Amino acid sequence: MRWYERGRSALRAALLHFALSLAIAFMAAILTFFLWFPYPYRELAGGGHLFWLVVGVDIICGPMLTAVVFNSLKPRRELITDLCCIGLVQICALIYGLHALWQTRPVYLAFEVDRFRVVTYADIKKEDLKPDSNELHRLPWKGIQIIGTRMPANGEEMLESLDLSLRGFDPSSRPDWWEDYKDSIDQVRLRARAITDLIKKRPDKTQMIRDEISRAGMPEANVMWLPVTSFRSLEWVVLLDRQTMQPITFIPVDGF
């Protein structure tokens, strides 16, 4: 009978802990999916998988540990100490996980030569950041901004750029190459392609492409596209307004 009573009280405590963990996970989800990784960036930058890994471990392990250590017959001080230790470990794990998400959050969608690239905080060559002299170097803490990247000034800079790219720093990752998107629009217009080209390239995705254009409420003739890449995906395109070259929507279609 004593074991039954202990099990029932431990289960009640674990369920209460689980409910509290779910509430905290819900708030973390709002932060992650609405501020740091809005769609489609959770797919392009992998934030969704990392979030569910962090939160899944957190909301399962905490209540399980509570069920193991909870015993109403324990001295009150000992029980509170045990539960506080579990809570502290759980909070530390969640903070570590959220910090990892913060480090991998996308900050810019950068036009680069003939494509758009999702630039995460981890991608950036941080020693080149000069937030006091360049507004683009003040990285947004929420949402994703669209920017451009300039062309090399001369042959020497082009060779240096190639060397940096081979070392993992593409132009979109270098703050000293960033520029306002409006300054890159002529290059975007030059590189953007007609929707008919995308349909010819991926005929099996024709219906998906036309459905997305229809949802955007624009004539097909007024829509252009370019590939979108990130450190984990090469299989997306962005649809662009032919007049303004502003992004309309994203489609999971391989543009290469």
> What residues have CB less than 8 Å from 208, skipping those under 6 apart?
251, 253
Instruction: Give pLDDT, residue 62.
Output: 86
Note the pLDDT tens digit of each residue in 32-82.
Answer: 999 999 989 988 888 888 888 888 888 888 888 888 888 777 888 888 888
- The C-alpha atoms of residue 8 and residue 50 are separated, in whole angstroms, by 34
- Does residue 1 surpass a pLDDT of 60? no
Give the mean model confidence (pLDDT) for residues 154-163. 81
Note the pLDDT tens digit of each residue in 168-190.
Answer: 788 899 999 999 999 999 999 99
Exposed (0-12), middle (13-18) or buried (19+): which is 163, by Cβ within 10 Å? exposed
Dihedral sign for Cα atoms in the order 134, 137, 143, 146: positive
Instruction: Give pLDDT, residue 2.
Output: 59
Looking only at Cα atoms, what is the longest distance across the chain? 84
Q: Which residues pair with 242 in a beta bridge?
A: none
> What residues have CB less than 8 Å from 102, skipping those under 6 apart?
36, 121
Q: Which residues pair with 229 in a beta bridge?
A: 117
Average pLDDT taken over every residue of the chain: 89
This prediction's pTM: 0.83
Note the pLDDT tens digit of each residue in 107-129.
Answer: 999 999 999 999 999 999 889 89
Dihedral sign for Cα atoms in the order 111, 112, 113, 115: negative
Q: Kindly state the DSSP code that residue 252 receives in the 8-state scheme.
A: -
